[in-house]
């Protein structure tokens, strides 16, 4: 019988890792970051031993999911800021990316469990901070252009997308997907200049998100 080559073994390892990451992202989405590891292995189509060889514990898996997704989002943010001349279009498309990868926002912005796991992970922190900087720059350009209301800050955008994303529909749920898209469009429309009602309080920035999380004000996020 032909023996597997080192190249094929590396390819198998990469494929297993991708399957586990994809399954974990989906399971975290559906059940929160405390989903049993054996359920993640089952969804990935690998044995529990394979999962633990790749990711010795839950913390390492959370880091890997966040690292991969945040890096992808940071790449999208850099590309949009560089290539899209209209800041309103760039910000809209970036928020759609946030929506489609909302798990990362929930995990890194508001979930206390995941935040504790990720807070000392330089690669995650670097990509997250870069995303916040790009969002802030695009938002200011939109406000200077007069297309986004002046009384909002990046934290308002992040929390709005995270809140909407708690209602993500199940795969194949066409009605749920349609309602979700409408709700996202309605909330995004509220950020436009010309919205009739003034917002209470003051603009929410990322330090406010951090304070809310520390005080338990976001306890419902990141959980099933």
Q: Do residues 48 and 104 both lie within one domain?
A: no
In sequence order, what are the residues at sequence separation of 6 or more whose Cβ sits closer than 8 angstroms to the Cβ of residue 88? 142, 145, 147, 148
**139 Cα distance to chain centroid:** 18
| pLDDT score recorded for residue 82 | 94
Q: Do residues 75 and 171 both lie within one domain?
A: yes
Q: Do residues 116 and 7 both lie within one domain?
A: no
| pLDDT score recorded for residue 115 | 61
| pLDDT score recorded for residue 127 | 80
Q: Which residues constitute the domain of residue 144?
A: 63-214
| pLDDT score recorded for residue 122 | 77
Q: Do residues 8 and 119 both lie within one domain?
A: no
The total number of structural domains in the chain stands at 2
Token digits of residue 128: 């997250």
Q: Do residues 7 and 35 both lie within one domain?
A: yes
pLDDT in tens, the chain (224 residues): 445 566 665 788 889 999 999 898 888 767 777 889 999 999 999 999 999 999 998 888 888 887 888 888 888 999 999 999 999 999 989 888 877 776 555 554 445 566 666 666 777 778 888 888 999 999 999 999 999 999 999 989 888 887 776 666 666 778 777 877 888 888 888 888 876 567 778 888 778 777 766 655 555 444 43
Q: Do residues 77 and 163 both lie within one domain?
A: yes
- Rounded to an integer, what distance in angstroms lies between the CA atom of residue 215 and that of residue 154? 20
Q: Does 169 fall in a domain?
A: yes
| pLDDT score recorded for residue 98 | 78
Q: Does 114 fall in a domain?
A: yes
| pLDDT score recorded for residue 223 | 44
| pLDDT score recorded for residue 1 | 47
Q: Do residues 41 and 92 both lie within one domain?
A: no
Q: Does 223 fall in a domain?
A: no
Residue 123 host element (H or E): helix 122-145
Q: Do residues 117 and 89 both lie within one domain?
A: yes
Q: Do residues 83 and 162 both lie within one domain?
A: yes
Q: Do residues 23 and 73 both lie within one domain?
A: no
| pLDDT score recorded for residue 159 | 82
| pLDDT score recorded for residue 179 | 79
| pLDDT score recorded for residue 222 | 43
Q: Do residues 123 and 12 both lie within one domain?
A: no
Q: Does 221 fall in a domain?
A: no
Per-residue burial over 25-42, b = 16 or more CB atoms within 10 Å of its CB, e = otherwise: bbbbbeebbebebeebbe
Q: Does 220 fall in a domain?
A: no
Q: Do residues 141 and 167 both lie within one domain?
A: yes
- Domain of residue 36, CATH code: 1.10.10.60
């Amino acid at each position: 019988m032909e023996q597997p080559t080192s190249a094929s073994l590396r390819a198998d390892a990469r494929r297993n890792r991708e399957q586990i990451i994809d399954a974990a992202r989906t399971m975290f989405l559906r059940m929160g970051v405390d989903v049993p590891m054996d359920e993640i292995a089952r969804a990935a189509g690998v044995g529990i031993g394979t999962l633990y060889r790749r990711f010795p514990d839950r913390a390492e898996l959370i880091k890997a999911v966040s690292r991969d997704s945040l890096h992808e989002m940071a790449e999208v943010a850099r590309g949009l800021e560089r290539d899209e001349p209209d800041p309103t279009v760039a910000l809209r498309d970036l928020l759609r990316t946030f929506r489609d990868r909302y798990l990362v926002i929930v995990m890194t912005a508001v979930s206390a469990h995941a935040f504790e796991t990720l807070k000392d992970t330089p690669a995650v922190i670097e990509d997250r901070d870069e995303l916040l900087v790009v969002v802030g720059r695009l938002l200011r350009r939109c406000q200077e252009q007069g297309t986004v209301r002046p009384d909002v800050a990046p934290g308002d955008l992040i929390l709005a997308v995270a809140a909407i994303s708690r209602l993500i529909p199940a795969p194949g749920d066409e009605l749920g997907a349609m309602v979700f898209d409408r709700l996202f469009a309605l909330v995004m429309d509220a950020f436009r200049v010309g919205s009739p009602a003034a917002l209470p309080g003051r603009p929410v920035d990322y330090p406010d998100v951090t304070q809310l999380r520390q005080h338990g004000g976001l306890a419902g996020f990141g959980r099933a």
